[in-house]
Amino acid sequence: MRKQGTWVAMLSAMITDAILAATAFVCAYYLRLATDIIPAVDVPPLETYYGPLLIQVGSIALVFFFSRLYHVKRGISLIDLAYRIFVAVSVGTAIATALTAFTVKGLEIVYPRLMLAYVWLLSITFLVAGRVIITVILGSLRARGRMKEPMIIVGATDIGRLVLSKVQQSPHLGYRVVGFVDDHAAGPTFEGLPLLGQIADLGDIVTEGQIAEVIIALPQATRREILGIVSSCSDKNVSVRVYPDLFQIMATEVSIGDLNGLPLVSIRDVALRGWRLTLKRAVDMVFSAAVLIMFAPAFLFLALLVKLESRGPALYIQERVGLDGKPFPAVKYRSMRQDAEKETGPVWATADDPRRTRMGTFLRRFSLDEVPQFINVLMGQMSVVGPRPERPVFVEEFSQRVPRYMERHREKAGITGWAQVNGLRGDVPIEDRTAYDIWYVENWTLGLDFKIMLKTLYEMIRGENAY
């Protein structure tokens, strides 16, 4: 039944995309006729373009198929999906244009380049919109309990607990964790769910429970153990995913080089060097300057509200640790009463923290308290995107107990970051946040920065773990 449902979903996606691509082509034709930028001259009727239309739709369908865009994945972000569609449509349109030039005669003059541009832009817009609408609808149905697929977590561990938490926080993905499998767990349950058996019984458990997804949450397991678990599911109609250990997360950029003829494997390459560093700094300057200028009246109004509600300055200067472990004065809106740490000393904020002011609660709920840090970005002390800056007392503590913690300081701290947009805010294990920060440092791209910026807007609206 699951395999049949998968084929139905793929076929539905193909038909929907074909209809949207054809609609985009027709709209591009009429938009070309209606445009006044370059007046249309001797454009033949729409029927003349049926050949190019079929080539366009077929080319996009072919590229989508080889790009695995019909293999719908749960959990893929809409930003990643939109980017993949943008690339696929661009390639498909280029192929269609080349094929049209060789196969359809008599259209060399009357196939306007402006219409071609419209076809490309409208195809991207329609196909992205269609997938977004479908994704939102499916997510809504799954969140209401429809189309739930059973999942098993292998490993009653802290990582297993983290995976369970992520699944429970993402009902739109449509998973239902039915239990855990582990050889060493004590008791009949873990996190309120039953322990279904030992790892050796996994194959039978998957078959009997008609499990759709297995997640292996054993970061300390050896490769042989992982392969054994995967092999036990190899003949089952089930997807298997593995949560990587800390080393695997950090060592994604592996390259082979030599030192005067001695072969070496590099696993600590830093993505932000040379021209990339210059490019990131240029984006930081332009973006921060634009934000500070465009929203200056709103920022001044927020500062006035902070000042009027409680005694003390509107802005709060706090020492944080940034690039190369050097401290810098981070600027924030004051969100707590004065002398908030007089009795407690340096501590992290907590949910329903009594030290917050009413205005501070609002600012922290939408992460607006950190907006003044664009001043730090403009001054070169921070970046828009990067690892979260911590206070010196916490950095000293974490550097002693978290492996490779100080390596996150190889780049500038950021107002937002890869860890924050993946839900690692508030009271979460610092080891997990560190792994995400180091992964960002070693895998930076400008596209990744823009993706994080867009996801930040969504996280600001959600306000989850923002306290």
Where along the chain do its domains lie?
Answer: 2-143, 149-243, 275-462
CB count within 10 Å of CB 208 equals: 10
Mean pLDDT of 143-147: 77
DSSP per residue, 282-296 = HHHHHHHHHHHHHTH
Distance, CA of 291 to CA of 172 (rounded, Å)? 33
The whole-number pLDDT of residue 1 equals 47
- The encoded tokens of residue 10 equal 């793929």
> Distance between alpha carbon 371 and the CA centroid of its chain, in Å?
22
The whole-number pLDDT of residue 382 equals 93
Residue with tokens 């996280």: 459
Q: Is residue 452 scored above 60 in pLDDT?
A: yes
Residue with tokens 């392969």: 227
- The encoded tokens of residue 181 equal 């499998």
Distance, CA of 72 to CA of 330 (rounded, Å)? 43
- The encoded tokens of residue 116 equal 């071609």
Q: What is the pLDDT of residues 77-103, one digit of tens each?
A: 778 788 889 999 999 999 988 888 777
The whole-number pLDDT of residue 91 equals 92
CB 304 within 8 A of CB 314: yes
CATH topology (fold) of 149-243: Rossmann fold (3.40.50)
- The encoded tokens of residue 444 equal 């930076």
- The conformational region for residue 242 under phi > 0 = left, psi -120 to 50 = alpha, else beta, is beta
Q: What is the pLDDT of residues 306-351, one digit of tens each?
A: 888 877 888 888 899 998 888 999 999 888 877 766 666 666 666 6
- The conformational region for residue 243 under phi > 0 = left, psi -120 to 50 = alpha, else beta, is beta
The whole-number pLDDT of residue 350 equals 61
Phi then psi for residue 380, to 5 deg, are: 85, 10
CB 245 within 8 A of CB 218: no
- Of 126, 124, 112, 115, give the one whose Cα is nearest residue 28: 115
CB 178 within 8 A of CB 214: no
- The encoded tokens of residue 196 equal 């279904």
The whole-number pLDDT of residue 211 equals 85
- Of 451, 384, 378, 380, give the one whose Cα is nearest residue 421: 451
Q: What is the pLDDT of residues 370-421, one digit of tens each?
A: 899 999 999 999 999 999 888 888 888 888 888 778 888 888 999 999 888 8
Q: Is residue 353 scored above 80 in pLDDT?
A: no
Beta strands in 75-233 (DSSP E): 149-154, 175-181, 189-190, 193-197, 213-216
> Distance between alpha carbon 350 and the CA centroid of its chain, in Å?
25
Q: 255: helix, coil or strand?
A: strand
More confident residue, 182 or 75: 182
Phi then psi for residue 49, to 5 deg, are: -100, 10
